[in-house]
Each structure stands twice: as C-alpha cells, then as structure tokens.
Amino acid sequence: MALDFDRLVAQMRRLALEAGDVILEIYESPDFEVRSKSDESPVTAADEAADALISAGLRAAFPEVALVTEEQAASHDQQVSTFLIVDPLDGTKEFIKRRGDFTVNIAYVEDSVPVRGVVYAPARERLFYTLADGRSVEEIGPFDKDAPGETRPLSVSIPDNRALMVVASKSHRDQATDDYIGRYAVKDMTSAGSSLKFCLVATGEADLYPRLGRTMEWDTAAGDAVLRGAGGRMIRFEDHAPFAYGKPGFENPFFIACAPGVLLAEP
C-alpha cells in the first residue's frame, strides 16, 4: 500500500520538532549522564527520550511500515528494503561537548532509496525536509508543530571545480579524508557535525562531502533524502555506484555526497 506522503511528511516534521524540544531540555540542563553502548559509542538520556517519542509516534501513525532506529538493537536484525529509519540524536559527541551541531533524523526508505526525510538541528534552529512531492526545503523559524511556516527551496550548487567548497566531519576527520580532499582544488573548507553536512551540500553552502569512515544508515538516510531532493548525489566511494539502503546490519560503505557538477577524483 502506497503511503500518503503529505501525511508522512507532516508526521515526521512534527515528531522531529517534538523530539528537539525534549533534547534541548536536557542539553540546557546543568548536567546530564553519559553512558557507553556495547560498541563504545556514547548515549545520553536525550537519545533515549527522543527515540521513545519518535518511535511511538511513527508506530502509531504507520503500523504497517517497518521501523529501524539506532537506539533499538532488535530493529537492526530486519532485512527490509522499504522502511522508516530514525537517528533520534545524531551527533551525540557534539551534544555532549555542547557544540550545537546535533540533529534529529527521520527518513522513509522505499525500495532501498531514501525518498523522504527530515533533519532538524534544534540548537541551530535549522529545519530541513522533503515535501510530499520530494523537493527539499528549509523552513524558516519559529516553528509551529502543527502548521509549517515559510520555506525556501533547496538546490545544490553549480560548482566551480577550480575552487570547491568542501565540508567534512567535525569529530571524525582523519588523514585518509584529508588526503582525498587534497586531490581537489579547494577554495574553502568547513567542518560540521552530524547530518548537517548533507544539508550544507543541499543548500549550496558546500559542493562536496566525502566520508571515509564507518557510518550507519540511520546516520545518513534523512540527510541523503534532503540532498537528493535538492538535486544532489550520494554515491559509494570505492566505485561511484549508486548508494542503497537496507544493507545487512544497516552499515554503510565509505561515500561521497556532492553536487552533480563536481568532477570526482578516482578513489
């Protein structure tokens, strides 16, 4: 059964904003506990509270659609190609360091392609999402949970390959990434946390985002949907093949997110 995309987008947007409120309440508190998960990655009460809120909302609204979420390990055992996928707090390290570059990510993947998504950065007051027709927008705040406000359409840049704008991870930069970026003529380099990197390419604020490190599908699906809705590309690093979702364990290969006009260096 085909989903009603108007209803889907409205639900994802509202849940992202509600989760953002829960996250900010903890973020702005004097102190919060940080624990380690089985893979040694950090988790906070904000991750868990946002996950509970979003998961309950999605399951109530779309009980027929499979749900994959970072904070529920049992959901990682599914083998699906059409599903909802959630990272309730992407950029936990940025959250812990109170740097603001963390996001709420919710996406809908259809036949292994992320076709709708929302990325909300509550501390930055930036909200990006796909409309029901698949086009991407940034909404201008303040944000009303029940009624979208003014939006501006997103479109990737027409890059100057002699002077590229590059964005890379704030917490996961390594020599391999720097070496790869060094193969381009770079005008300026910026760093950002979480899925905001995809959004910077989607808005045209950056041309290229390479990631030569481990990520999971919940880290990328929502930002990828926003990027695609703005005319951008998401490809595998090793062979420049199309990037697909629903992989075993939901683990990603290295990737490149970019405007189509970027002349890509060979891996």
> What is the chain's mean pLDDT, rounded?
93
Query: CATH number for the 164-258 domain, one of 3.40.190.80, 3.40.50.300, 2.60.120.10, 3.40.50.850?
Result: 3.40.190.80
120 strand-pairing partners: 104, 127
pLDDT of residue 31: 75
Going by the annotation, the residues of the binding site for Mg(2+) are 70, 87, 89-90, 219
Are 65 and 84 in contact by the 8 Å Cβ rule? The answer is yes
Q: Hey, what are 240's tokens? A: 């420049």
Are 246 and 80 in contact by the 8 Å Cβ rule? The answer is yes
Amino acid letter for position 67:
L
- By DSSP bridging, strand 208-211 and strand 186-192 are unpaired
Query: CATH number for the 5-153 domain, one of 3.30.1120.10, 1.10.1740.10, 3.30.540.10, 3.30.465.10?
Result: 3.30.540.10
Q: Hey, what are 122's tokens? A: 């509550």
Residue 177 has pLDDT above 60, yes or no: yes
Cα 48 from chain centre:
18
Q: Each residue of 217-265: pLDDT tens digit?
A: 999 999 999 999 999 999 999 999 999 999 999 999 999 999 999 999 9
Residue 1 has pLDDT above 70, yes or no: no
- By DSSP bridging, strand 66-69 and strand 126-130 are unpaired
Cα separations (Å) of 137 from 13, 32, 114, 240? 12, 33, 16, 26
Q: Which of 120, 83, 122 is nearest to 105 (CA)?
A: 120
Going by the annotation, the residues of the binding site for substrate are 70, 89-92, 219
Query: Which pLDDT band holds residue 95 (cuts at 50, 70, 90)?
Result: confident
Q: Each residue of 46-92: pLDDT tens digit?
A: 999 999 999 999 999 999 999 999 999 899 999 999 999 999 999 88
Mean pLDDT value across residues 3-15: 97
216 strand-pairing partners: 251
Reduced to 3 states, what is the DSSP secondary structure of residue 150? coil
Q: Each residue of 107-155: pLDDT tens digit?
A: 999 999 999 999 999 999 999 999 999 999 999 989 999 999 999 999 9
Going by the annotation, the residues of the binding site are 70, 87, 89-92, 219
Long-range own/partner contacts, residues 34-37 (CB < 8 A, 24 or more apart): 34/96
Q: Identify which has the larger pLDDT, 196 or 40.
A: 196
**Which strands make up the sheet holding 83-90, listed edge to edge?**
66-69, 83-90, 103-110, 113-121, 126-130, 136-139, 151-153
Domain boundaries, the chain: 5-153, 164-258
Query: Which pLDDT band holds residue 39 (cuts at 50, 70, 90)?
Result: low
